[in-house]
Structure 1
Amino acid sequence: MTVSNRAKFALYVTVHPFKGFWDMKYEGSGRMSAALAAVLLLALATIVKQQFAGFIVNRNHVEELNSLNQLYYIVLPFLLWCIANWSTTTLMDGEGTFADIVMATGYALIPLTVVYVPQTLFSHWITEQESAFYYFLDALAVAWSGWLLFIGTMTVHQYSVGKTIVTMLLTLLVIGMILFIGLLFFSLIQQMVAFVATIHKEIALRP
């Protein structure tokens, strides 16, 4: 599949999610490279939006923004969702593999990039009264991606609507648990490092 065909299929999934996600999983139309490229493009689109959106809607202090941090805010939630969803669906007889989950999630993020790029350009020509339309585009992009993520999860795992909703809620719960355990782990490591540093300092200062 050429790059052009991969791009066309990615856009096809956004407007024909039921058929698109079915073809992705069962017809081999999906590509991991295309899904990961969608994530990176979203990260770039988000960075550009926060850096260069019009001053009327841009509340960020541009000089204080760190592009690398913005990359983390996209890539880390993406990875957490994929890992948590795979962990949850493995216990709930889901048919999707980890690769299927990564591809479905990556494709589901495409509407955010599709909206963010023209939205950023549009923000330079709007007035204060027209800013509501800018925020409406934000809500539209999130709702569109959320809908695709729902359809993708349901299709990849062959779940019913109800089971898909429960699975997605459990996935969010697992993400919270992973973050909590991660914070505890790093806090413990920090305390151990501080303890060792204190002992080393005392030994070094001992006559």
Structure 2
Amino acid sequence: MQFLKDIKYSLHVAMHPFDGFWDLKYENKGKLRVAVLMLFAVTVTMILKRQFAGYVVNFNFPLDLNSIDELKYIVLPFLLWCIANWSLTTLMDGEGKFTEIVIATGYAMLPLILVNIPNILLSNVITLRESSFYYLLDTLALLWFIWLLFIGTMTVHQYTVTKTITTMLLTLLVIGVIIFLGLLFFSLIQQIVSFAYTVYQELSLRG
């Protein structure tokens, strides 16, 4: 089945990123549906992690967790990264299309899935003294993800190492600007709505 082959190929990308991301871009082996599946899987595993990780490493109160709220910690940063990176690289002679950025970012998230699942199980059998193994695996997964994202960004845009690092740092800056402008916009809308409602109440009382 082709879909299973596409998923299996994501493992090749994680283990052989230079060849893998090159083929994703130039051999059309990257599939948008697989990238979306990766995003969904990371979201699910992160929700499971917050809900079912052992009490030794889990400081969340399960009854206070809202699975929908968890989306803003995963899906929103993913979309912001792709939008900010695409917006920035169009000004910096990047060769990557928006779809290619989404695919590369999605494939880079595989380590988070591979580590989260066994880490949830591990967290339920370890002691406080052994919790360092849990945090070590978490750190390795994050570093692996950043490494894959770096290679994916470099390959998609055909940048040098220095330009890739600069672009990734600037992308984070652009994300900050987008968030600031978004908050400013919603605050302005809220004030306009509040003002309009106050005027409506005044007119209603005088009428």
Q: For this structure pair, what is the TM-score category when the shorter chain's length is used for normalisation?
A: over 0.9
Question: What TM-score results when the alignment is normalised by the length of structure 1?
Answer: 0.98
In the alignment, the residues of structure 2 paired with residue 87 and residue 118 of structure 1 have an alpha-carbon distance, to the nearest angstrom, of 36
Which residue identity is paired with 2:175?
A: I
Identity of matched residues, %: 59
Deviation (angstroms), 1:204: 1.1
Corresponding residue for 1:86? 86
In the alignment, the residues of structure 2 paired with residue 104 and residue 14 of structure 1 have an alpha-carbon distance, to the nearest angstrom, of 11
In the alignment, the residues of structure 2 paired with residue 57 and residue 165 of structure 1 have an alpha-carbon distance, to the nearest angstrom, of 32
In the alignment, the residues of structure 1 paired with residue 9 and residue 90 of structure 2 have an alpha-carbon distance, to the nearest angstrom, of 28
In the alignment, the residues of structure 2 paired with residue 26 and residue 118 of structure 1 have an alpha-carbon distance, to the nearest angstrom, of 34
Corresponding residue for 1:23? 23
Corresponding residue for 1:130? 130
Deviation (angstroms), 1:72: 2.1
Which residue identity is paired with 2:193?
A: V
Which residue identity is paired with 2:16?
A: H
Corresponding residue for 2:55? 55
Q: How does 1:169-188 map to 2 (within 5 A)?
A: 169-188=169-188
Q: Secondary structure at the match of 1:58?
A: coil
Corresponding residue for 1:192? 192
Q: Secondary structure at the match of 2:74?
A: helix
In the alignment, the residues of structure 2 paired with residue 86 and residue 101 of structure 1 have an alpha-carbon distance, to the nearest angstrom, of 7
Q: Deviations over 1:136-160 (max 9, x none)?
A: 1111111000000000000111100
Q: Secondary structure at the match of 1:140?
A: helix
Which residue identity is paired with 2:126?
A: I
Question: What TM-score results when the alignment is normalised by the length of structure 2?
Answer: 0.98
In the alignment, the residues of structure 2 paired with residue 128 and residue 33 of structure 1 have an alpha-carbon distance, to the nearest angstrom, of 40
Aligned residues: 207
Q: Secondary structure at the match of 1:91?
A: coil
Q: How does 1:139-158 map to 2 (within 5 A)?
A: 139-158=139-158
Which residue identity is paired with 1:112?
A: L
In the alignment, the residues of structure 2 paired with residue 50 and residue 114 of structure 1 have an alpha-carbon distance, to the nearest angstrom, of 16
Deviation (angstroms), 1:186: 0.3
Q: Deviations over 1:55-96 (max 9, x none)?
A: 111100110000001122110000000000001110011111
Which residue identity is paired with 1:111?
A: P
In the alignment, the residues of structure 2 paired with residue 72 and residue 169 of structure 1 have an alpha-carbon distance, to the nearest angstrom, of 21
Corresponding residue for 1:105? 105
Unaligned runs of 5+ in 2: none
Corresponding residue for 1:201? 201
Q: Deviations over 1:82-135 (max 9, x none)?
A: 000001110011111000000000001110011000000111110110001101
Q: Deviations over 1:19-74 (max 9, x none)?
A: 00000000010000000100000000000000000111110011000000112211
Which structure 1 residue ranges, 4+ long, deviate > 6 Å from structure 2? none
RMSD: 0.8
In the alignment, the residues of structure 1 paired with residue 23 and residue 160 of structure 2 have an alpha-carbon distance, to the nearest angstrom, of 18
